[in-house]
Amino acid sequence: MSPPAQIGLVNGARSPAGNNHPSVGDGANGAPHASDFNTIESALEAIRNGKAVVVMDNEDRENEGDLIFAAEKATPELLAFTIRYSSGYICVGMHPDRLDELDLPLMVKENTDPLRTQYTVSVDAAEGVSTGISAADRAKTIHILGDYNVKSPSLLRRPGHVLPLRARKNGVLERGGHTEAAIDLTRLAGLSPAGALCELVNDDGTMKRRNDCIAFAREHGLKLVTISDLVAYRRLHNC
């Protein structure tokens, strides 16, 4: 399945400020090379233009890559691509104030998740969807979550097929997770701080690790960045 035009950027090339891609994992012992990754600026441009990016966390954390795109830019095509190449368990990282506005409380009172990921109650759009699980239905739900002009909690039904996640207010500077990366990348791209995210998986159901994600990003013309680079970017630019 080739990604729709809005999924990635042509050839997935590094921005002019960076280097051209060598072969996947050409560092010592097949380790990823710095130039396997793109700049944060190029990822922000992609997100601003309604495209998905691949975001890796640290190898000593989950060591996983997530597809992330702006919630307000959600389309059926983006969701279909994400569903095909991911776990299908699509979440939306959101700012706490937005979740409070939409009356979306935490799923449980006592969180025993090892990484303390803060799931809220699941949701579907209240109108204009069928069962809520299709790519088109989930795109509509995610778009509502990212549309800050939508103020009424009644526009969402509970439970549903999309999982909002409560991000830390200071983003990746407070917690180095994909949830926080989603709100930081969308905010820094000049969009509403809400980003859809889902873990990439291999065809055999195993999680894509770093070299898998490098190869996937190249194959589909996607920008690939790391959370550690996003942390450094925010500190450098005080943003």
* 174 among known catalytic residues: no
* 239 among known catalytic residues: no
* 33 among known catalytic residues: no
Identity at 125, one-letter amino acid code = A
DSSP state at residue 21: -
Q: What is the pLDDT of residues 170-182, one digit of tens each?
A: 999 999 999 999 9
* 119 among known catalytic residues: yes
Identity at 192, one-letter amino acid code = S
Q: What is the pLDDT of residues 123-157, one digit of tens each?
A: 999 999 999 999 999 999 999 999 999 999 999 99
* 91 among known catalytic residues: yes
Rounded-to-integer distance, Cα 115 and Cα 216, Å = 26
* pLDDT, the chain, mean: 88
Rounded-to-integer distance, Cα 170 and Cα 174, Å = 5
* 199 among known catalytic residues: yes
* 26 among known catalytic residues: no
Q: Which of 45, 119, 147, 148 is catalytic?
A: 119
Q: Which of 72, 124, 212, 229 is catalytic?
A: 124
Q: Which of 178, 184, 212, 233 is catalytic?
A: 178
Q: Write down the residue that tokens 């389309």 correspond to.
A: 75
pLDDT of 69 above 60? yes
